[in-house]
Chain A
Amino acid sequence: MKRALWIALGLAFVSGVATSQELPWPLAAADDEPAPAEADGADAEGGEDAAGEDDEDDAPRWFALRGGSVYQAGAWLEGATVLGKDGRIVAVGTHVVVPADAEVLDVTGYRVYPGLVAFDSRGIVGQQPGDSTDVFGLELNLALATGITTVGAGSQLAKLTWGTLEGHDLGESGLVRIDISQASLRARLREDLARVEAYLRDSKIAAAAKARGEEAKEPDSKFLRGKFAAYRDLLVGTKRALVNADTAGDLRALTRLTLRFGFRAVVKGAVEGWTLPGELGRAGISVVATPRERREPDPDRMAENGWSIENAARLHEHGVEVAILPRSPGISMGGLAGGDLLTFPLEAAFAMRGGLSEDAALEAITIVPARLLGIADRVGTLEVGKDLDAVIVKGDLLHYQTLVEWTVVNGRVAYDKAKDTLLQHVRPRDGEGENLPVPLIWPRRGNAPDSPPRPR
């Protein structure tokens, strides 16, 4: 009950409309009033308390972003509200009624983008996120400060929940790692896939025969374990393959495989993808690209080769889904900036330099990686039914001077620039952070007196 009151108070301050007279004091007073003295007063009170607590636990957790320009599939919804219930979006629009007990963040004058999705990451969440993420870690903090709300981490997926594990672990990504870097590996893969393909065909024949009422022998499925089980998922289309490939040769080999066996693949790298974008597009291959990944051209080769800043744009033009990832998917505090997740949106900006449209660039760091990771139903856009993950900025997210003001994950403010020391002092938010600029002193926490107290 008390918590509800505090939320109400917070709401009053945030929205800036309610004055102290308008605060719901009567409600609070009623709660605090002692129970009437009765013979069984204690029991009654206990019962009431228990009921009250239950109410609190069962009550939905409302969260609203009010008044912002909300990015919706390439268009801006001005003065809109995004309402979340228990971390999921239940309404987006200009006429959304916000429940009285909702926590409201007034973002009038700000833009609201979907939370960013990093296809891969290092050191931001634990190796087994649910069991070992440091939910107060510096890297996690910095990733949130960049606007990242969801990350892939090896084969794992996690939401960047700050200070809580609720909704943190998203389990494994639906990607099957395959290696095509050598001819021998490709040959082996081809054999294995053919075996699974034969099995699938035979079992289909058997099923059809049974349906006709004929006697049929089911193919032997004992081998469908480990990699073969994964390959079956690939061939039936429930999973995508993940491949590291950069050269046109490797990419072409991959297209032959995907076209032959009919599975979908996600290529990490694809530096020379721009030399065969049509082939990749036709083969249903998606790409996780790093626009500035260098690979100096070999002038002795007859075909076009090497890197191109236009890679992402050329691929996208040809229908290839493109996600963007910086060269280093970690966050380094060494001071060399511009190549890791700390400047994630700038990497998308470089893709625009190469000709990618703004919408495609935004998608490349939100919904496309979400789709490739198999979690597009949860994250990547601000749509009803998805998680309330948002990045709130003043101005254009892809502009180099734009820093994230708030990051919301699962309907909770996970980062607030004005309340976090990290970047508070850079273009401070209006009316907040009066103590800036910061002097070179060692600040103290707590209320330490000047000198130790002396005994009587």
Chain B
Amino acid sequence: MKRAILAASWLGALCAAHAQPAVTAIEAGKVLTMDDADRVINDAVVLIEGGKITAIGRRGEVEVPAGARVIDAHDRWLMPGLIDCHNHVAGSLADLNDGVYLTNPGLRTVDTLTPNNELLKNARAGGVTTVMLIPGSGNNMGGFGTIARTAGDTVEAMTVRAPGSLKIAQAGNPERYWFGVGRTYMNWNLGQTLAKARAYHDSWTEYEAAKARGEGLAPPPRNLVWEDFRPLFRGEIPVTVHTQMYQVVQKTITQLHDTYGLRVVLDHSTFDGYRTSALVVERDLYTIVGPRQFYFDRTQRRIFGCAQRYFENGVRKLGFNTDAPVVPQEELSLQATIGCRLGFDPYLALKGLTIYPARALLIDGMVGSLEVGKAADFGVWTGDPLDPRHACLMTIVQGEVVYDARQDRRF
């Protein structure tokens, strides 16, 4: 009964949003912009028009146009929508991991995107607005992931970018593909696939250069399997690497980054992966920690927060992931909470939930911080988003209310 009402009211909200004036103004008690200036604006006003932020500043400094729809959140915190670089629930879980081969360069998760599934609704309740839907780690190369909004009624409306990244699982799961699959074979096989992909990319780059020079070279044969690798090698999309433990993370860095020149995002990076910190710092890579958040270091009988351990050793581009459904998507902020419980700095942790993952995924031009021109993706929180006692009351994606706890409280 309640659900029916809720669904109706939610639809109503959407319709209302369409019918309403072009400008929405949100009056907030505190706005965590997460921008480069690290501005935190108290008693702020944010203007939204056409799904984008058009103005942001202190009340009085920003003029609210007459007739604007005003959302009163004067005792709330505004926080950019949280971004998870490692999600499996935006698509159908049954198709988590198609393992045709040990490396599957042609597969794409965009084919599995499932708008408005229950887990996505929960995600919105956790203030999560953007996720990277990637294949599982049952084989070394699961295919291309999709950057998706947690809201949107169609695949097109959800999709931020497809392909979003290439999913590679360096080790620690693909071994299950078949017996006899160990690290040496996996790395060799992965290298073979990448070599083929690069050869394809190189042949086309050569052809394009020749064409630009006006030389009449015959085009190489087109192969859709390798087509998505071209933006990958051009550095236009990253590679999301399931990698953890010292040796494996090292291999990821040297093989994928050094040898193949890929834009590596170290995903998981847990256990004692932090011992690679020096290598990570040298190459300025993004490290997205989770779903494990601590490592029991048996050499010292200490519990180390993984994020803090990276930070202590110089790594600054740190984020958090849930590997949802391993940790429910709506608990993304809790991942950072645990990191902070074990020593990490809360403000940096908030950046690790927003702007750092946005940069890692190369979508920071659109989302990740509350700045003029960026998408109006944010959560309205009752307080510190890292504190489990506070909740996200309202989630807005591209200017539209996609979750309202007053109507359908989920988390």
Contacts and interface: CB of A to CB of B under 8 A. Distances in A.
Interface of A: 292, 294, 296-297, 299, 302-304, 308-310, 333-338, 343, 346, 349-350, 352-353, 398-401, 403, 421-427, 437-438, 440-443
B340 A400 contact: yes
Interface string B371-407: 0000000000000001111110000000000000000
9 contacts: A294-B328, A302-B1, A308-B409, A335-B293, A338-B293, A338-B337, A349-B389, A353-B388, A401-B341
B233 interface: no
Summarize A's interface: helix, strand, loop or mixed: loop
B343 A400 contact: no
Contacts, number: 102
A399 B294 contact: no
A270 B243 CA distance: 39
Query: Which of A308, A335, A424, A441 counts the most B-chain CB atoms under 10 A from its CB?
Result: A335
B291 interface: yes
A361 to B, nearest CB: 8
Given A346-B337, A400-B341, A335 B118 contact: no
A373 B338 CA distance: 30
Given A335-B295, A353-B389, A403 B302 contact: no
A336 B411 CA distance: 20
Contacts of A346: 337, 341, 388
A423 B335 CA distance: 18
Interface of B: 1-3, 118, 270-271, 275, 291-296, 299-306, 308, 312, 326-328, 331, 334-335, 337-338, 340-343, 346, 386-391, 409-411
Contact of B294 (A296, A310, A335, A400): A335
Given A346-B337, A398-B389, A400-B387, 18 more contacts: A296-B118, A304-B2, A309-B391, A336-B327, A338-B331, A338-B337, A350-B388, A352-B389, A399-B387, A400-B341, A401-B340, A421-B300, A421-B302, A422-B303, A423-B342, A425-B302, A425-B304, A440-B275
A450 to B, nearest CB: 21
Nearest to B296: A333
Query: Which of B118, B292, B328, B337 counts the most A-chain CB atoms under 10 A from its CB?
Result: B337
A79 to B, nearest CB: 27
Contact of B391 (A296, A336, A353): A353
Nearest to B382: A353
B338 A338 contact: yes
Query: Which of B2, B327, B389, B409 counts the most A-chain CB atoms under 10 A from its CB?
Result: B389
Nearest to A142: B303
Given A304-B1, A338-B337, A401 B346 contact: yes
Contacts of A304: 1-3
| 8 nearest A-B pairs in the assembled complex, by CB-CB distance | A335-B292, A349-B388, A352-B389, A421-B301, A337-B338, A426-B343, A333-B296, A349-B389
A309 B409 contact: yes
Contacts of A437: 312
B383 to A, nearest CB: 10
Contact of A423 (B303, B409, B411): B303
A426 B340 contact: no
B331 to A, nearest CB: 7
